[in-house]
Structure 1
């Protein structure tokens, strides 16, 4: 015999509307009542009719994660996987499902997001990319769709966003290399249209300027955030007539490629070139030598992005009650790659 919402309500001693609110994750249900109803639902093996629930509540309890364009290789980058883990953990706690979408270009991304939102297949979107003049951000903002940006917009101050202080993080990383005695410091940056990359470049330049050090344009390499980029960059950097003795690298995966390239060229880290990177993924402790890195709180970035978006979806009228911009603190993690062997770790 089919288990209905009414039967669950009768056994729990509550109204059908209370069961409905528990199913939809509505905040106005006492925690004790919610636990009791969920326990009875499990015992009775009750499965909510999600289509019917969506029609009644006008929500889907689903959010979309939009991955960066042309980044199908992102699943090999532990940064993205940890970010998704944070998002999925919080979404699950809130009773939300996630969709993962990937567009080949911005036009395709806009079409995909439009189809999902207008077709009421998702309630909101989490954007992984933070780009200059972003067409997807424009579309979501103009149409007043719920979304959160992991990063910051160069155009809108009022949109919901979760980010690090990337300028300060790069400033701190560069100053760490300076404290180790380095005066010639380079930077392997990310894509030029990525705002996080521009902010980190600005932080690096500020630290160099504040310490009165030499700045050379050939010491700044513009690369995509993938392992092979760091590998190929080294053949250029280490053959310069006057080369850096240390570099800041935009991502752990690139740093791993940098070390591989240096090994092939018979250079040693940190003796010939000291390195510090960003993200502090598990890769940094598996590398030889281990990699110094800025821990940006990847899991917390994802968890917070999911949390604030779902709150916005459930309580759209409270969108101006609190701040729209959430900053996750960073930490400097020092390992072998940036410490001269005479000092140890």
Structure 2
């Protein structure tokens, strides 16, 4: 008499679906329960056909601007979290790149994944149309477009993070606080600036446009406006900087004008990356948990793969100040 999944379930005190999910190493079953079920399987000599185990193929889609991705450890930490969850669930991970939309879709066709994780929210409509036509689920890391009601996403509350950065500096006694952002159309930088404005307005301080500057790129930027502000008599005593990489640039520029961090000017940045920890002096940085963003993205994507009729989900991963 052959042993069935129902026999395993009865002896282990679980449902047949739990046994099935254990066989497929499903993330929803705790390791403790899996161990209990596997022990019963061994005791009863249950042998299952591994060729029938459902295996997910997950694709990670890199932005077209590869320089920013390779340069910024934020993205590498996200991929590390994605990789960890895929290895834990025994899912195959595919890297999707492309210099243009055509190359990206070609990479997707070759990989033939069950779902995709985009490392940002700037996705060409032809790519999303391609996925929707084939009913392939995908998830974005970041804040989806305002007009999108069907997008699945994982993000940090960047408005609140910017707000908390300013509150921290206000508690330190700073009254003249500047903001250094990225390109004007980068959503996380926009949101952190909104939080910056909200905190200053709430505290009764004037929002000075001269205190708000942008760095277009960490590898190609024009610092003249920032240097002019740093040399002025009305220079802020502190800055909220949208990313650790730009914070390191700010330390260099502050040094260039003969001032020091934090003696003359304080800085609070974001990501708590190796740049913040190894900077001299070490920088105060808000940890937006990119590793956790990656892990949560896999969890949510697998849910949508397994339940195609699910409503769109938008998960928020909490941040901490380091």
TM range (shorter): 0.7 to 0.9
Which secondary structure does the structure 1 equivalent of 2:231 belong to?
coil
Q: 1:27 to 1:127 in 2, by over 3 A?
A: closer
**Aligned residue in 1 for 2:73:** 78
**Aligned residue in 1 for 2:112:** 121
Tell me if the contact between 1:22 and 1:37 (Cα under 8 Å) persists in the aligned partners. Answer: no
1:101 aligns with 2:93: no
C-alpha displacement of 1:235: 2.4
C-alpha displacement of 1:308: 1.2
**Aligned residue in 1 for 2:157:** 165
In 1: Cα distance, 2:317 partner to 2:21 partner: 32
**Aligned residue in 1 for 2:139:** 148
Among 177, 190, 213, which residue is 1:221 paired with? 213
Among 237, 242, 245, which residue is 2:234 paired with? 242
Structure 1, 24-33 or 233-242: larger mean CA deviation = 24-33
In 2: Cα distance, 1:103 partner to 1:22 partner: 37
Tell me if the contact between 2:154 and 2:293 (Cα under 8 Å) persists in the aligned partners. Answer: yes
Which secondary structure does the structure 2 equivalent of 1:294 belong to?
strand
Which secondary structure does the structure 2 equivalent of 1:148 belong to?
strand
Alignment deviations for residues 261-297 of structure 1 (CA, whole Å, 9 cap, x no partner): 2223321012221100011123322211111111112
Which secondary structure does the structure 2 equivalent of 1:74 belong to?
helix
Tell me if the contact between 1:231 and 1:259 (Cα under 8 Å) persists in the aligned partners. Answer: no
Which secondary structure does the structure 1 equivalent of 2:164 belong to?
helix
Tell me if the contact between 1:61 and 1:96 (Cα under 8 Å) persists in the aligned partners. Answer: yes
**Aligned residue in 2 for 1:316:** 308
In 2: Cα distance, 1:233 partner to 1:103 partner: 34
Q: 1:287 to 1:120 in 2, by over 3 A?
A: closer
Which secondary structure does the structure 2 equivalent of 1:275 belong to?
strand
**Aligned residue in 2 for 1:5:** none
Structure 2 segments unaligned to the other structure (5+ residues) = 9-18, 43-48
C-alpha displacement of 1:259: 1.0
Among 38, 59, 62, which residue is 2:57 paired with? 62
In 2: Cα distance, 1:143 partner to 1:217 partner: 47
In 1: Cα distance, 2:267 partner to 2:60 partner: 32
**Aligned residue in 1 for 2:11:** none
Structure 1, 27-36 or 253-262: larger mean CA deviation = 27-36
Tell me if the contact between 1:227 and 1:256 (Cα under 8 Å) persists in the aligned partners. Answer: no
In 2: Cα distance, 1:219 partner to 1:120 partner: 47
Among 22, 31, 34, which residue is 1:31 paired with? 34
In 2: Cα distance, 1:132 partner to 1:65 partner: 13
Tell me if the contact between 2:27 and 2:89 (Cα under 8 Å) persists in the aligned partners. Answer: no
C-alpha displacement of 1:197: 1.6
C-alpha displacement of 1:101: 2.4
Which secondary structure does the structure 2 equivalent of 1:122 belong to?
coil
TM-score, normalized by length of structure 2? 0.79
In 1: Cα distance, 2:293 partner to 2:125 partner: 20
C-alpha displacement of 1:216: 2.4
Tell me if the contact between 2:26 and 2:89 (Cα under 8 Å) persists in the aligned partners. Answer: no
C-alpha displacement of 1:26: 5.7
Which secondary structure does the structure 2 equivalent of 1:243 belong to?
coil
Q: 1:134 to 1:150 in 2, by over 3 A?
A: farther
In 2: Cα distance, 1:143 partner to 1:65 partner: 18
Which secondary structure does the structure 2 equivalent of 1:186 belong to?
strand
Tell me if the contact between 2:58 and 2:93 (Cα under 8 Å) persists in the aligned partners. Answer: yes
Tell me if the contact between 2:244 and 2:270 (Cα under 8 Å) persists in the aligned partners. Answer: yes
